[in-house]
Amino acid sequence: MFFDTHVHLNVKQFDDDQTETINRAREAGVEKMVVVGFDHETIPEAIRLAEQYPFIYAAVGWHPVDAIDFTSKELTWLEELARHPKVVALGEMGLDYYWDKSPKDVQADVFRQQIRLAKKLDMPIIIHNREATEDIIKLLQEEDAASVGGIMHCYNDSKDYLQACLAMNFYISLGGPVTFKNAPLPKEVAQAVPLDRLLIETDCPFLAPHPYRGKRNEPAYVTLVAKQIAALRDVPLEVIEKATTTNALRLFGLLEEK
Ligand code: NI
C-alpha cells in the first residue's frame, strides 16, 4: 500500500468528483492519505473528509501567504481542531517569499506561533517552503522544532540542505517534480535521502507527475512518484512502497492501528 502524505482533496478543483478521485486512489493502492488544510475554508473540509473516511487523516495549519490574516482567534481555533483524533500533524506552515501578500516578519511570527503550538501538543509539523530555505532552517533551529520533527513538504532544494533537515528530525517528502525532465535536483535528493526518512506525496491538485505534468494532479498518481524514486535508487518498487508507508505511519503515530 502507498501513503500519500500531502493531498488537497479539500479544494474546489475536486468539487465535481471528490468521491471518484478517492476511489481511483484506493484502486491504485493508495490506501492512506493526509488531507492538508491551510485556511478558513480548507481546514473544516479536511476534517470533514477525515471523519467520513477511515483511511483519510487531516493536518491543520495556516499558510504563510495568508499570515497577515492570522490572529489569536485563528491560533485558538487551530489548537481546538488539532485535538481532533483524526488530526495527525500541524501544517502546512512555513515561509513563502514568492508571493508578497504577507510581509516576511509577519510570516515568521505566525510560523513561530504554530511551531510553539505543535510543541505544546507534541505533534509533527508540515513545512511549506518557497524560496525561503535558509530562514526556515534558522527559525526551526531557534524554536527547537527537532523535539517534534515533521515533514519538509515537496522538498525542492539541492541535497546541500538535507543534513540540516535530517538533524532536526524532519522527513523529506518528494512529489511530482522528481519525475520531471530536466529536473536534476529532486533526482539527486531522491538518491541521497536515507530510506528511513523518505516520504512520497502528490500535493494534488498541483504538481502532477510526468506524463500528467500541467494537468490536475490526484492521489492515484503518487505511485508514479514512487516508481521514479525506485528507478533512481535501483531498487524494486516494493522497497520504496514499504519504506515510505512505514515512515508515514511512524511519523503520524499510526503504526498501532495499521
Ligand atoms: Ni500543500
Gap from CA of 147 to ligand 1 centroid (Å):
23
- Taking the centre of ligand 1 as the mean of its atom positions, its distance from the CA of residue 213, in whole angstroms, is 17
User: Sorting pLDDT into bands at 50, 70 and 90, what band is 105?
Assistant: very high
CA of 153 to the centre of ligand 1 (A): 7
What's the maximum distance between 2 C-alpha atoms anywhere in the chain? Answer: 49
CA 154 to ligand 1 centroid distance, Å: 8
CA of 203 from ligand 1 middle (Å) equals: 5
Tell me, in angstroms, the distance from the centre of ligand 1 to residue 235's CA. Answer: 28
Q: What is the rounded CA–CA span in Å between residue 197 and residue 161? A: 14
Residue 113 Cα, ligand 1 centroid: separation in angstroms? 19
CA of 63 to the centre of ligand 1 (A): 9
How many angstroms does the Cα of residue 201 sit away from the middle of ligand 1? 10
Kindly state the cell numbers that stand for 169. Answer: 528530525
User: Residue 84's pLDDT is what?
Assistant: 97
Q: Determine the average pLDDT of the residues in 146-170.
A: 96
CA of residue 184 to ligand 1 center, whole Å: 22
* Closest to 141 measured CA to CA, from 121, 164, 122, 159: 164
pLDDT grade, residue 100 (50/70/90)?
confident
Whether residue 56 is predicted with pLDDT greater than 80 in this model: the reply is yes
CA of 128 to the centre of ligand 1 (A): 7
pLDDT band at residue 26 using 50, 70 and 90 as cut-offs? very high
What is the Å distance from ligand 1's center to 230 Cα? Answer: 23
Tell me the mean pLDDT in the region 23-41: 98
> 6 CA to middle of ligand 1, Å?
6
What is the rounded distance in angstroms from the CA atom of residue 151 to the CA atom of residue 31?
20
Distance 108 CA to ligand 1 centre (A): 18
- Residue 7 alpha carbon to ligand 1 centre in Å: 7
Query: At residue 186, does pLDDT exceed 90?
Result: yes
Q: What is the mean pLDDT of residues 176-195?
A: 96
What is the grid cell recorded at 161?
540542505
Query: Taking the model in full, what pTM does it have?
Result: 0.97
- pLDDT reading at 257 higher than 80: no
pLDDT band at 79 (very low <50, low <70, confident <90, very high): very high
Structural domain that includes position 116 = 2-257
pLDDT at 62 over 80: yes
How many domains does one find in the chain? 1
How many A from CA of 200 to the centre of ligand 1?
13
Q: Does 258 score more than 60 pLDDT?
A: no
Distance 41 CA to ligand 1 centre (A): 14
Q: What is the pLDDT of residues 213-255, one digit of tens each?
A: 999 999 999 999 999 999 999 999 999 999 999 999 999 999 9
Query: CATH number for the domain including 143?
Result: 3.20.20.140
182/123: higher pLDDT: 123
Ligand 1 centre to CA of 152 (Å) is 11
pLDDT confidence band for 59 (50 / 70 / 90): very high
If you measure from the C-alpha of residue 222 to the centroid of ligand 1, how many angstroms do you get, rounded to a whole number?
Answer: 14
Over the stretch 108-149, which tens digit does the pLDDT of each residue have?
Answer: 999 999 999 999 999 999 999 999 999 999 999 999 999 999
